[in-house]
Structure 1
Amino acid sequence: MPRLCYLRCLLDTHLPISLVHNVEIIIGRNKLTKIKDQACSRQQLSLKANCKECFVEIKQLGVNPSGLDGFALKKDLVYKVKHGSRIEVLLNHHTHIVEFDPPPGDHINTEPQITAKRKLEEDDYANQKRKSLKVDMQELSSQPAMEDVWDDVDKDELYVFTPKGVKASSKIAAFDMDGTLIKTKSGKVHPVDTNDWQIAFPEVPRKLKEYLDKKYKIVILSNQAPIGNGRVKIEDFKKKIEAILAKLNIPIQVYISTGRGFYRKPTTGMWKVLSEQKNDGIKIDMSESFYCGDAAGRIANWAPGKKKDHSMADKLMAENLNLKFYTPEQFFLGHSVANVIMKKPDFIPSEITPNKFDDNLISDKKEILVLVGYPGSGKSFLAKQIEKKSGHKYVAVCRDVLGSWQKCAAEATKLLQQGKSVVVDSTNPDKESRARWTGLAKDMKVECRCAVMLTTKEHAKHNNKFRELMKMNHIPVNEIVFHTYKNKFVEPTPSEGFNEVIQVKFNPFFENEEAEKLYRMHLLEK
């Protein structure tokens, strides 16, 4: 008789779950366990029994932690447990016991030989069991949400509404909200209050129902900064969302980004939460999914009398995800976009390539090297490179660190007296700001050169957004600062007192693949 393995509920709320030898079993919030706790994923735990050696391999798949004998599991890490181990489907909740029958150590009657026919029968049984379990789990995973649930993510940076009836699916039909599914009744660009809305096109309910019938999961991905800045109360906006869904009479999962971070389009944070946390573990088929939104970068009069799009955030998010993209008129009305002119972004991050360090930036002579460039143009990274490659014969003085050009000048004077060369890490856009340094170099009887960063305004804004999203130790720079620099900028020339003016290309550097992947995305909305 072969040894059997079971997962028995400590409270006996359901029948023991049979763990077939060497077959993966997935448990979670489903009919098998009778767990209804929304914190538990439908695919929370993977279990695979080895009935010959009497152990079970378990792996947490869900977002929230499972437990083993009171200790939290780490996601995707495989643990081996033995007879009598206590497994908590959610940490400290829904406790089950691993049991082998007969227990380890007890004698098992086995035949001396297993015929080829017997082996084929066992293999066929195992294969049939795998197929049956796979079908069962797909059916369980497609069960609709049982109740309306609002979740908040990352300290209210993102709100997710999962209404009753929403089903997980490998196919996602995603939509922007304002200007796509709804428009203002007042006719104004922005709604005057949370009641100022109506369905954008008569075809919207029918079209959404059509894709629901095709087994798509319908979702809304919407930027709502007024919630984050306090102009709209989240409780009022929740009522608006529930009213819109009631009007459409279709179960739609809604994602509301309230801040400026990774959840705001065109960055892909909302989609990441959807795919990793809010789709019950079902992998999304990107080739079958799509996104529809009105922020496509269309120029003025793209159709007679139409204003230009306020941004291209929707189209750029779709590009970041490599998703098919539709405008609302294209998707709901069947209009062609063949002759519609859509702007391209001024900066395309995927086109940035590494550049070799210019050894000419380091001089054999003592000097002041004045950097010039937008905030976020790469000056600080270049200054650190120069320090390192010069063996710290150069030392940077940074206005962001010291607070004023006067303090920078005092520190530079001290460093020059110690025999060091100085890199001035500041924007220095005009002749007046640069004259401070050519004057100091003359007083100290050292050479003075200038290094101009070729980083464009849009590229610098992208870099600044990247630093913000990566939570680097930099002060966020607003549009006014970039505009002021652009207006004040005067191209440096040797006539200002520089021995040489060097042009420097931006040189990207990434700590890991995830950072580079984020950097290569469109981060700006226009």
Structure 2
Amino acid sequence: MAGSAKRSASGAISPPPVKRKIESTVTKQSMSSFFTPTSQKKPKQITWRIVNNSLVVGKYAKESDHEQSAEKPRVAAFDLDSTLVSTASGNTFPRNSSDWKWWHDTVPSRLKELSADGYHVIVISNQKKISLQKEIKGGRSDSKSLTNFKERAAAVMEQLDIPLSVYAATLDDGYRKPRIGMWKEFLDDYDFDATGVDLSKSIFVGDAAGRPNDHSQVDRGFAANTEVPFKTPEEFFLNAAPEPLVEPFDPSLYLQADQNDDASPPFSRQSGLELVIFCGSPGAGKSTFYWDYLEPLGYERVNQDILKTRPKCIKVAKEHLAAGSSVVVDNTNADPETRSQWIEIAKGFSVPIRCVYFSASPALCRHNNAVRAANQSLNPESRTLLPGIAFGDFGRRFKEPTTSEGFKDIIRVDFRFRGDEESERIWKQYWI
């Protein structure tokens, strides 16, 4: 029969399929861990957490972690990049998670000595290049930058093999050095906010020390704000002599001294109707000056941050002048061309125009702006701190006003901070 006919001898016969060996992905270690009671399981050596969607915290735990002592704890805190490690490639920033080496051969042994001597060793680092946004692509829960940082920091912690915590500030907020948010988080993690730390016997080491070739002085400022002694990596690891400093910005120099009640106010009305323009960089104290001295005298305020455009400021100022109210233009008015528009308006209303010039330095203005930007929860108009949030180049293209432009007078104002005890404490901590 056709159905029972044998296949032709010339036809190729496929070999039987090879049985594939199924490899188990379950290791003996994972099986043992699965059946081990939770109470008997050892904690993971490295754990990570994110605080307020801003601060990255990693902890390397060991069974030989520090025991409780009757003495106050001592802390050895370090910056990370250019202090404990540098890039193996020579790049300013690491190419990937494996692009690192010890800053000096003595670093790991010195940190192990500190830990053996009872110090709590921690890392306090600004890491603004880390993004905390989740990555759906590839199924990753962490961004590539966060993954790279975790892997690099984990490699450092594993090579040291000592109890170690890493704090990394990713935003320009209260956690970022020289502000002390990371230090507070560390104290809270270890309950040292209750017991206290032996500050005089602790140390903070960092490369941003305000030396001529340093990118900033945030590490030195952080140490000053935490009241912990400070050293550079060269001083701490290599016993080098201290280097000369670039003149640091010190906010405490601008604190308002107690004024005599009999002192005359810095501004007084000279005419029944007048136009006053402020002239100064963002963060120079213009709005504070208005609320303290001109608002009580009945001057109306025109501000471009509120009204958004200069034409609208001009329109509102003209309406106030037409209604018989003196006006303050609370804008930067940084160049003669801008100021000339207000001078023409004053001429059109036949009123004198006066200028208040705020002479705060660019460094001071940057400091003020940093305070405002990182403390947005404060009511901008309450003057608890400096009102508002302003942006600008802080004097880079600023042209100082002169009487030859047509002003009746120019009143010069030097910035001085005046606030309550808490706002003063916050204001002093924002070193540049």
Letter in 2 for 1:275: L
Q: Report what 2:250 is aligned to.
A: 348
SS of alignment partner, residue 178 of structure 2: coil
Q: Report what 1:162 is aligned to.
A: 59
Which runs of 5 or more residues in structure 1 are unaligned? Answer: 1-34, 37-143, 300-307
Q: Report what 1:256 is aligned to.
A: 168
Letter in 1 for 2:396: K
Going from structure 1 to structure 2, the CA distance change for 1:179 and 1:145 (only over 3 Å counts) comes to: farther
How far apart, in 1, do the equivalents of 2:296 and 2:44 lie?
Answer: 62
Of 314, 325, 330, the residue aligned with 2:219 is 314
Q: Report what 1:104 is aligned to.
A: none
How far apart, in 1, do the equivalents of 2:157 and 2:132 lie?
Answer: 25
**1:521 Cα deviation (Å)?**
2.1
Q: Report what 1:13 is aligned to.
A: none
Matches within 5 A, 1:344-383: 344-345=247-248, 347-354=249-256, 358-383=265-290
Q: Which has the higher contact order (CA 8 A, sep 6+)?
A: 2
Work out whether residues 266 and 316 of structure 1, in 8 Å CA contact, stay in contact via their aligned partners in 2: yes
Matches within 5 A, 1:368-517: 368-390=275-297, 393-471=298-376, 472=378, 473=380, 477=390, 481-482=392-393, 485-487=395-397, 489-510=398-419, 512-517=420-425
Q: Report what 1:149 is aligned to.
A: 47
Q: Report what 2:123 is aligned to.
A: 220
Q: Report what 1:102 is aligned to.
A: none
Q: Give a deviation string over 1:139-178, Cα, whole Å, max 9, x none.
A: xxxxx987532121112x1011122124377110000111
Are residues 1:245 and 2:147 paired? no
Q: Report what 1:288 is aligned to.
A: 201
Q: Report what 1:64 is aligned to.
A: none
Are residues 1:199 and 2:102 paired? yes
Q: Report what 1:304 is aligned to.
A: none
How far apart, in 2, do the equivalents of 1:506 and 1:388 lie?
Answer: 18
Q: Report what 2:239 is aligned to.
A: 334
**1:350 Cα deviation (Å)?**
0.6
**1:468 Cα deviation (Å)?**
1.1
Letter in 2 for 1:239: E
Q: Give a deviation string over 1:447-500, Cα, whole Å, max 9, x none.
A: 11000001111111111111112115577555xx316x422x222122211111
How far apart, in 2, do the equivalents of 1:274 and 1:145 lie?
Answer: 20
Corresponding pairs, count: 364
**1:513 Cα deviation (Å)?**
2.2
RMSD: 2.3
Q: Give a deviation string over 1:43-100, Cα, whole Å, max 9, x none.
A: xxxxxxxxxxxxxxxxxxxxxxxxxxxxxxxxxxxxxxxxxxxxxxxxxxxxxxxxxx
Q: Report what 2:19 is aligned to.
A: none
How far apart, in 2, do the equivalents of 1:365 and 1:214 lie?
Answer: 74
How far apart, in 1, do the equivalents of 2:161 and 2:201 lie?
Answer: 24
**1:359 Cα deviation (Å)?**
4.4
Work out whether residues 267 and 294 of structure 2, in 8 Å CA contact, stay in contact via their aligned partners in 1: no
How far apart, in 2, do the equivalents of 1:505 and 1:316 lie?
Answer: 24
Q: Structure 1 segments of 4 or more deviating over 4 A?
A: 144-147, 229-232, 472-478
Work out whether residues 171 and 286 of structure 1, in 8 Å CA contact, stay in contact via their aligned partners in 2: yes
Work out whether residues 320 and 522 of structure 1, in 8 Å CA contact, stay in contact via their aligned partners in 2: no
Moved more, 243-252 or 228-237: 228-237
Q: Give a deviation string over 1:307-337, Cα, whole Å, max 9, x none.
A: x222221111111222111111211122222
Going from structure 1 to structure 2, the CA distance change for 1:438 and 1:262 (only over 3 Å counts) comes to: same
SS of alignment partner, residue 259 of structure 1: coil
SS of alignment partner, residue 459 of structure 1: helix
Of 146, 151, 174, the residue aligned with 2:77 is 174
Going from structure 1 to structure 2, the CA distance change for 1:145 and 1:292 (only over 3 Å counts) comes to: farther
Letter in 1 for 2:334: P
Going from structure 1 to structure 2, the CA distance change for 1:490 and 1:233 (only over 3 Å counts) comes to: closer
Identity of aligned residues (%): 33
Work out whether residues 226 and 232 of structure 1, in 8 Å CA contact, stay in contact via their aligned partners in 2: no
**1:229 Cα deviation (Å)?**
7.9
Of 269, 281, 290, the residue aligned with 2:181 is 269
Matches within 5 A, 1:46-125: none
- More strand, by proportion: 1
Letter in 2 for 1:162: K
Q: Give a deviation string over 1:346-385, Cα, whole Å, max 9, x none.
A: x310111327673434334210011000011111111222
SS of alignment partner, residue 316 of structure 1: helix
Q: How does the TM-score come out when normalised to structure 2? A: 0.79
How far apart, in 2, do the equivalents of 1:457 and 1:275 lie?
Answer: 34
Going from structure 1 to structure 2, the CA distance change for 1:278 and 1:158 (only over 3 Å counts) comes to: farther
Letter in 2 for 1:288: K
Q: Report what 2:112 is aligned to.
A: 209
SS of alignment partner, residue 167 of structure 2: strand
Letter in 1 for 2:46: D
SS of alignment partner, residue 239 of structure 1: helix
Letter in 1 for 2:196: K
Work out whether residues 278 and 332 of structure 2, in 8 Å CA contact, stay in contact via their aligned partners in 1: yes
How far apart, in 1, do the equivalents of 2:211 and 2:170 lie?
Answer: 25
